[in-house]
Chain A
Amino acid sequence: MSQKRQRAGFYFILPWLIGLCLFTALPMVAAVYISMTDWDIVGNAEFVGLGNYITLFQEEEFIRSLWVTVRYAVIAVPLIIATSLTIAVLVSKNHKGTGVFRVIYYMPAIVSGVAVAIVFKWILDPSYGLLNGILAFFRIQGPDWLYDPDWVLPSYLIMAVWGAGGGLLTYLAALKDIPEDLYGAAMIDGANTLQKVRYITVPLMTPIIFYNLVLGIIGAFRKFTDAYVLGGAGKEGNFYMVYLYEEAFGHYRMGYATALAWVLFVIILLLTFVVNWTKKYWVYSE
């Protein structure tokens, strides 16, 4: 193939390259500068050096929102992985109607956003909500959920577990790749279902679990929509991104909010590295 033709490829990727410069590289450089200023959009930016980064570690709300987010991530991410893995194993069997069940479990990946958050707010209503209504049927006095600081986190976890099926497809694809004869061989050796899951399915699924772990951590730290709509008593629903949004577009502290964004970026990066480092201890590779 001719040199000239090869060069044409460059023109094909040009739009992306322009986007990279305009919407990623330039804003990133600008973000470094903005994070070192005191800027409320209207006035001029006042250079404060690392001031914002020092301030944020002293702000109570920063610590609280980070703590809310970390606690959520630590519990929700493994919970979501375990739930979607279980669902995937269940619906990987080809019985009559499996297809219908797959679509139902997968629904939260498509059907999400503000509407679903509102529905959950209603379900979790302490007096007239569905959840406490069902609990009352079993003679259990349900908690005040989003209105009780201690129960805000569990409320978000309930939503997270409900939505876990959204990650179903990657697991299903990986399950399909496990060779059937492995299970056959295990059966001849007299393994029961639990042993098969423990010694064949889970080890062979570790690469995809790893992938979902990384994405899950990122997703948890970027949680916004649900938290913005639901809130929670005692500011326990003030997730990191909600805090960042409020600082930037509620209080117009652009410099400070950009510093918050960088801190988030560094946290995500560090966690990704840490998880990547643990890879060699538990992720199966051929």
Chain B
Amino acid sequence: MGRVRLVLWYIVVTLGAVIMLLPFAWMISTSFKAESEIFTVPIRWLPSRITLQNYVKALDVVPIFKCMLNTLIIAIPKIVGEVFVSALVAFGFARFDFKGRNTMFMIMLATMMLPYEVTMIPTFMVWSGLGFSDSYVPLVLPAFCGSASFIFFLRMYFETVPRDYEEAAWIDGARNLTVFRTVFLPLAKPALVTICLWSFMGTWNDLLGQLIYIDSQEKYTIQLALASFSSMTGETLWGPLMAASFMALIPVIALLLYAQKYFMEGVKMGGIKG
């Protein structure tokens, strides 16, 4: 590639990156501005003096850290269930030839196409009939049945494991679960980390599910807290809102930077969880 074209490439790609980052820069800049500098024409790019008043106000209205903790209370058991059970099921699909296996695998693929919306209302009614309204249980428990997209992804991964690896273990008379634990789980570690991250992100960014099942404010997750904060706003709240949004995004951005390698491996399932 010629020099001119290389320079051109850098210009285009940098311009795109600036557009991508601009919303975040604007959010951060606003969050540190005094109110008088937020509402100005023409706009002011940077605060003339950094103030923390928006953060104080945001934390005063919304207990952001408690809401993050609530999200974690849902996310952590969900990750454990979803990832472990999905791995077990994927192992079953990948390494055993029981009756009806292929049919069941096809059914599983079909459920990935089924919109959650159709089962959403009946499922909600059953949970509330069982007395689980305003509870985290309906958000966590189904995870222990595995997730179709994770099973699909892990099965592909398990099928690439050479048969020789496990044959030795079988000959030694190891039990199925032992082979799963000592051969497959360690080999699939990168895939499992990727799935843990996706599972976590799914919970952290989910609004609809949490909106349906959680009512009381002390149980609010970070998404619910932000949504209710943004709906109560009069015009003047933009500063605190940006402060709250920034605080809510910090863990996610940190995670992306820290674990980018694993996120980038989630290629095959990127679009499935929406």
Contacting B267 at CB < 8 Å: which of A173, A225, A272?
Answer: A173
Q: Which stretch from B47-55, B86-94, B185-193 is at the chain A interface?
A: B86-94
**Separation in Å of the B224 CB from the closest CB of chain A?**
8
Taking a contact as CB atoms under 8 Å apart, the answer to whether A167 and B115 are in contact is no
For B146, the closest partner residue in chain A by CB is: A16
Contacts of A121 in B (CB 8 A): 230
Taking a contact as CB atoms under 8 Å apart, the answer to whether B22 and A128 are in contact is no
| A23, A102, A167, A228: residue with the most chain B Cβ atoms closer than 10 Å | A23
Taking a contact as CB atoms under 8 Å apart, the answer to whether A23 and B142 are in contact is yes
Per-position contact with B for A122-152: 1 when CB-CB < 8 Å, else 0? Answer: 1101011110011011000000000000000
Per-position contact with A for B238-262: 1 when CB-CB < 8 Å, else 0? Answer: 1001101110110011011100100
Known: A8-B96, A13-B93, A225-B208. A28 touches B260 (CB 8 A): no
Known: A114-B230, A128-B41, A128-B43. A169 touches B212 (CB 8 A): no
Contacts of B223 in A (CB 8 A): 113-114
Contacts of A28 in B (CB 8 A): 114, 118-119, 122
Contacts of B22 in A (CB 8 A): 130
Taking a contact as CB atoms under 8 Å apart, the answer to whether B23 and A162 are in contact is yes
For B91, the closest partner residue in chain A by CB is: A12
For B255, the closest partner residue in chain A by CB is: A110
Contacting A16 at CB < 8 Å: which of B42, B145, B238, B245?
Answer: B145
Taking a contact as CB atoms under 8 Å apart, the answer to whether A272 and B113 are in contact is yes
Contacting B272 at CB < 8 Å: which of A120, A215, A257?
Answer: A215
A107-124 interface (Cβ within 8 A of B): 107-123
The answer to whether B97 has its CB under 8 Å from any CB of chain A is yes
Known: A7-B98, A118-B241, A258-B122. A107 touches B248 (CB 8 A): no
Taking a contact as CB atoms under 8 Å apart, the answer to whether A115 and B95 are in contact is no
- In the bound complex, CA of A105 to CA of B9 (Å): 15
Taking a contact as CB atoms under 8 Å apart, the answer to whether A95 and B9 are in contact is yes
Taking a contact as CB atoms under 8 Å apart, the answer to whether B208 and A162 are in contact is no
The answer to whether A204 has its CB under 8 Å from any CB of chain B is no
Interface size on B, residues (CB 8 A): 96
Contacts of A116 in B (CB 8 A): 23, 245, 249
Known: A107-B20, A119-B27, A130-B22. A31 touches B121 (CB 8 A): yes
Taking a contact as CB atoms under 8 Å apart, the answer to whether A31 and B42 are in contact is no
Taking a contact as CB atoms under 8 Å apart, the answer to whether A169 and B270 are in contact is yes
Known: A13-B104, A103-B256, A107-B20. A261 touches B115 (CB 8 A): yes
Taking a contact as CB atoms under 8 Å apart, the answer to whether B23 and A123 are in contact is yes
A: interface residue count bin: 35 or more
The answer to whether A282 has its CB under 8 Å from any CB of chain B is no
Contacts of B176 in A (CB 8 A): 5, 8, 12
The answer to whether A11 has its CB under 8 Å from any CB of chain B is yes
Secondary structure of the B contact surface, majority rule: helix
Contacting A130 at CB < 8 Å: which of B43, B260, B271?
Answer: B43
Taking a contact as CB atoms under 8 Å apart, the answer to whether A41 and B128 are in contact is yes
The answer to whether B30 has its CB under 8 Å from any CB of chain A is yes
The answer to whether A241 has its CB under 8 Å from any CB of chain B is yes
Taking a contact as CB atoms under 8 Å apart, the answer to whether B13 and A118 are in contact is no
| A109, A211, A219: residue with the most chain B Cβ atoms closer than 10 Å | A109
Taking a contact as CB atoms under 8 Å apart, the answer to whether A101 and B151 are in contact is no
Per-position contact with A for B263-274: 1 when CB-CB < 8 Å, else 0? Answer: 110111011101
- In the bound complex, CA of A126 to CA of B12 (Å): 28
- In the bound complex, CA of A212 to CA of B267 (Å): 12
The answer to whether A153 has its CB under 8 Å from any CB of chain B is no
The answer to whether B4 has its CB under 8 Å from any CB of chain A is no
The answer to whether B165 has its CB under 8 Å from any CB of chain A is no
For A241, the closest partner residue in chain B by CB is: B117
Taking a contact as CB atoms under 8 Å apart, the answer to whether B118 and A110 are in contact is no
The answer to whether B201 has its CB under 8 Å from any CB of chain A is yes
B209-243 interface (Cβ within 8 A of A): 211-212, 223, 226-227, 230, 238, 241-242
Taking a contact as CB atoms under 8 Å apart, the answer to whether B114 and A24 are in contact is yes
Taking a contact as CB atoms under 8 Å apart, the answer to whether A254 and B121 are in contact is yes
The answer to whether A179 has its CB under 8 Å from any CB of chain B is no
Taking a contact as CB atoms under 8 Å apart, the answer to whether B117 and A264 are in contact is yes
Contacting B238 at CB < 8 Å: which of A10, A105, A125, A224?
Answer: A125
Taking a contact as CB atoms under 8 Å apart, the answer to whether B107 and A27 are in contact is no
Can you list 18 residue pairs at the A/B interface with Cβ under 8 Å? A9-B98, A10-B96, A13-B92, A16-B85, A17-B104, A90-B9, A110-B255, A111-B249, A120-B23, A122-B30, A127-B41, A128-B41, A130-B43, A133-B43, A169-B267, A170-B267, A212-B271, A262-B118
Apart from A12-B89, A13-B92, A90-B12, list 18 A-B contacts with CB within 8 A: A6-B98, A19-B145, A23-B119, A27-B126, A41-B128, A93-B1, A93-B9, A109-B270, A110-B252, A113-B206, A115-B249, A117-B230, A120-B23, A133-B42, A170-B270, A225-B208, A258-B118, A258-B121
